[in-house]
Homo-oligomer: A and B are copies of this chain.
Amino acid sequence: MNRLGIDLGGTNVAAGIVNDAGEVLYRYSAKTDTKSERSVVGSLSKAVSSLLEMSGISADEISVGVACPGTVNSVRGVVEYSANLPLCGTDVAGMLSSETGVDVSRIYMANDADAAALGEYRAGAGRGAHDFLMITIGTGVGGGYISDGKILTGRNHSAGELGHTVIVYGGEPCGCGRRGCAEKYCSATALVRLTKAAVAECERRGVKTLMTEIAEADGKFSGRTAFRAADRGDEAGAAVVDEYISYLSCALTNYINIFQPEVLAVGGGVSNEGERLLEPLRNRIYGEMYNKRQPESFYTKICRAELGGNAGVVGAAMLGL
């Protein structure tokens, strides 16, 4: 069976036909038409028909997987709720089947973070692992846990909201309504907040920091500002990196103490720092986790996600496996 994966986002639809090794053979990308429920499904149909035409594959020779932000009932093929798309109790699988001619039994759906985790598990950083945890650090902090090929969805398809676990009791207010969520301290957004606060503090004290000129050269403060300043010996920048890694290692140690996965992969923009981020992170986590006295061969392998922006498409395509 050929596999087609769609990563449905609030802005873009990315899709592809993917082989069993997780390579994207044909690729499609377009803006999401977010006017209505029907137009969103129309965006999906267009991705399917375009890819079938590109590849010369017919609708009865393919399985289709859709990764979607929000609460996705993978059993019924229904998007229960999505904050960024006009889908609510929408039978996406049924509607997509009627529009494309792909039998509904070959249409699979999952939450987008879960699909990305599955992509890495099947064809990326989690390949060969029995159990695998993926943390995506972007605007927010997303999580996906897979054991023995099965995604942890919970009974209500809302599980794995690892970014919405409190690590700072009574801390920063979070969009989810709680205070002190991991997302408010470990996301790229949080790193930028820490960076700006440190720069403001430097200004207040009349101390120079390279962060200011790096942000000016880049045109903005970003997740890399403090890292680049620290690399060039800037003390305030190094302190921001340290503080950020301290929060992130706190959250990741929590997840390891809960899941003890064979592999934990870190994805998203901040993971582009590579070993610059991962090495100090490992040092802290391995010194702090509950099983630190076990032989090192028992430790969770902590690495960078491998598929980058393709993880959603690849994982969606693999949903039918």
Residues of chain A at the chain B interface (Cβ within 8 Å): 71, 80-81, 129-131, 143, 147, 152-162, 164-169, 171, 176-178, 180, 185, 247, 250, 253-254, 257-262, 287-288, 290-294, 298-300
State which of B143, B153, B156 has its C-beta within 8 Å of the C-beta of A294.
B156
The residue on B at minimum CB distance from A299 is: B156
CA distance A87 to B294 in the complex (A): 14
A254-B166, A294-B156 known; A178-B260 Cβ under 8 A = no
State which of B81, B131, B299 has its C-beta within 8 Å of the C-beta of A293.
B81
The residue on B at minimum CB distance from A160 is: B258
The residue on B at minimum CB distance from A263 is: B155
CA distance A260 to B80 in the complex (A): 15
The residue on B at minimum CB distance from A80 is: B294
What does DSSP make chain A's interface, helix, strand, loop or mixed? loop
A155-B260, A178-B288 known; A294-B165 Cβ under 8 A = no
CA distance A291 to B176 in the complex (A): 9
State which of B129, B155, B257 has its C-beta within 8 Å of the C-beta of A161.
B257
State which of B130, B157, B171, B292 has its C-beta within 8 Å of the C-beta of A169.
B171
Which residues of the partner chain B approach A293 to less than 8 Å between Cβ atoms? 81
The residue on B at minimum CB distance from A169 is: B168
Q: Are A254 and B156 in contact (CB under 8 A)?
A: no
Q: Are A169 and B247 in contact (CB under 8 A)?
A: yes
Q: Please name 27 pairs of A and B residues whose Cβ atoms are closer than 8 Å in the assembled complex, sorted by A.
A: A71-B291, A71-B294, A80-B294, A81-B293, A143-B258, A154-B261, A155-B261, A155-B298, A156-B291, A156-B294, A156-B298, A158-B290, A158-B294, A158-B298, A159-B258, A159-B259, A159-B260, A161-B290, A164-B257, A164-B290, A165-B165, A166-B250, A166-B253, A169-B247, A177-B287, A177-B288, A258-B258
CA distance A69 to B211 in the complex (A): 50
Which residues of the partner chain B approach A291 to less than 8 Å between Cβ atoms? 71, 156, 158
Task: With both chains docked as a complex, state the minimum distance between the C-beta of A156 and any C-beta of chain B, in angstroms.
Answer: 4
CA distance A257 to B254 in the complex (A): 13
Which residues of the partner chain B approach A178 to less than 8 Å between Cβ atoms? 253, 288
CA distance A250 to B181 in the complex (A): 10
Which residues of the partner chain B approach A258 to less than 8 Å between Cβ atoms? 143, 159-162, 165, 258
